[in-house]
Amino acid sequence: MKSNLTAPTNSGEPAAGWLKKYSVPIATYAIFTLIGLIVWAIRDIRYFALFNGIGTTELVTRILVINNPRLRQPMRRLVQIIVGGILLIMLGFVFGVNFQFEQIFFDFQAGVVTGALIQLIIARLIIPFVFGNAFCSRACWDGAIFEITNRKNGRNFKRKPWLAWAYLILLVAVAFAVAHYFTNPAGDENELLRKKWIVGQNLFIVGGGYLLTMLCGSRAYCRLLCPFMTISSLLYRFSIFKITPVKSDNCTQCGACSKACPMLIDVKESVRNVEKVKNSQCILCERCVSACKRNVLKVSAKKAI
Ligand code: SF4
Ligand code: SF4
Ligand code: SF4
């Protein structure tokens, strides 16, 4: 008797082939649903609704892209707007949940746990083992604004790990100083102050990021300073899904993939070496995949070919 895995589907396509074809959307949905269940157990059902909603959005849009690759970038931007919009506008501006880095330390001083720590653990310490820095290209609201405002300008100031860590330590020190010497924006009683902080912090990141990009090249804040990137890029090497050359022989070394990369990664070089994109700044935006007319690149867990 045939196992279920090889039984034909209604369309005649073997179920194993179907599972393989949709492995990324299914894995994405499963991960977000699992995270939702865990956070529901720890906090409340609204978190399950949030994560299951993100997982469903990813599932549907990724299936659409597999069947029509031209939708890849429009669908990614749609996800970015939906997820980033929910996190910033609904949870941030309406409910006063601050997801920015320093809030973790405000909360620490106030003895509470909020979305800031949950976001750090999920988006920066769990998801990176599967999808690297994908949060940056599919959920970060500041990243969505950078996509519109940050342009390549021929500059490419290289990342210096010491600079990124120095900025992270400075942020921690500022957060402790603010909470200690001024009013701590944590806690229900300080919701208005926290909302003002959310607005100010995001304006600082978007405005500062724009200036930095003019001086140091595309997505400079993300590449050089963002504390979330500093943490998640440590785990990038363990990520299961990475940008992978799947038909290196088809490559003409035209360079369109490298030219499309907002993080200034030399994708063409990875293809030449028949290896995955190993640069820990990759945000899995798949612009390189979309730019390649010879279908050389794919997000995959398999070896480069
Ligand atoms: S690096 Fe930071 S600011 Fe940039 S997209 Fe990622 S989380 Fe957002
Ligand atoms: S865009 Fe495609 S063909 Fe051109 S260098 Fe990149 S992988 Fe090769
Ligand atoms: S290597 Fe590709 S997926 Fe990674 S950041 Fe560059 S364009 Fe995006």
**Domain ranges, ordered by start, for the chain:** 97-239, 241-300
Residues whose CB is less than 8 angstroms from the CB of residue 89 and which lie 6 or more positions away in sequence, other chains included: none
CB-ligand 2 contact for 257 (6 Å cutoff): yes
pLDDT in tens, 241-271: 999 999 999 999 999 999 999 999 999 999 9
**Does pLDDT of 58 surpass 50?**
yes
pLDDT in tens, 66-106: 999 999 999 999 999 999 998 899 889 988 889 999 999 99
- Give the rounded percent of residues in the chain with a pLDDT score beyond 70: 95
**Does pLDDT of 5 surpass 50?**
no
Report the pLDDT value the prediction gives residue 161, as an integer from 0 to 100: 95
Spatial separation of the C-alpha atoms in residues 234 and 124, rounded to whole Å:
9
Spatial separation of the C-alpha atoms in residues 144 and 204, rounded to whole Å:
15
CB-ligand 2 contact for 253 (6 Å cutoff): yes
Spatial separation of the C-alpha atoms in residues 227 and 221, rounded to whole Å:
10
**Does pLDDT of 61 surpass 70?**
yes
**Mean pLDDT to the nearest integer, 204-216:** 97
Which residue is associated with the tokens 């990875």? 270
pLDDT in tens, 107-142: 998 998 888 898 899 888 988 998 999 999 999 999
Contacts 24+ apart (CB under 8 A), 89-93: 91/50, 91/115, 92/195, 92/198, 93/195, 93/198, 93/199
Report the pLDDT value the prediction gives residue 171, as an integer from 0 to 100: 95
**Does pLDDT of 6 surpass 70?**
no
Residues whose CB is less than 8 angstroms from the CB of residue 153 and which lie 6 or more positions away in sequence, other chains included: 213, 214, 217, 218
Question: Which of these ranges, 25-34, 35-44, 233-242, has the smallest mean pLDDT?
Answer: 35-44
* Alpha-carbon torsion, ordered 151, 152, 153, 156, to 10 deg: 130
**Does pLDDT of 19 surpass 90?**
no
Q: Are 76 and 286 in contact (CB under 8 A)?
A: yes
Query: 247, 250, 251: which to mutate for ligand 2, most atoms within 8 A of CB?
Result: 251
Report the separation in Å between the CA atom of 142 and the middle of ligand 1, taken as the mean of its atom positions.
Answer: 6
What is the average pLDDT score of the chain? 90
CB-ligand 1 contact for 226 (6 Å cutoff): yes
Q: Are 258 and 288 in contact (CB under 8 A)?
A: yes
Ligand closest to CA 202: 1
Report the pLDDT value the prediction gives residue 13, as an integer from 0 to 100: 59
Spatial separation of the C-alpha atoms in residues 134 and 62, rounded to whole Å:
13
Question: Which of these ranges, 10-14, 159-163, 219-223, has the smallest mean pLDDT?
Answer: 10-14
Report the pLDDT value the prediction gives residue 197, as an integer from 0 to 100: 92
**Does pLDDT of 184 surpass 70?**
yes
Residue 242's beta-bridge partner residues? 300
Residue 140's Cβ-side half-sphere holds a number of Cα atoms within 13 Å equal to 27
Report the separation in Å between the CA atom of 15 and the middle of ligand 1, taken as the mean of its atom positions.
Answer: 38
Q: Are 218 and 224 in contact (CB under 8 A)?
A: no
CB-ligand 2 contact for 271 (6 Å cutoff): yes
pTM assigned to the model: 0.89
Fold of 241-300: Alpha-Beta Plaits (3.30.70)
Q: What separation in angstroms does the CA of 143 have from each of 81, 149, 209, 218, 274?
A: 10, 10, 10, 12, 29
Report the pLDDT value the prediction gives residue 23, as an integer from 0 to 100: 86
**Mean pLDDT to the nearest integer, 141-167:** 94
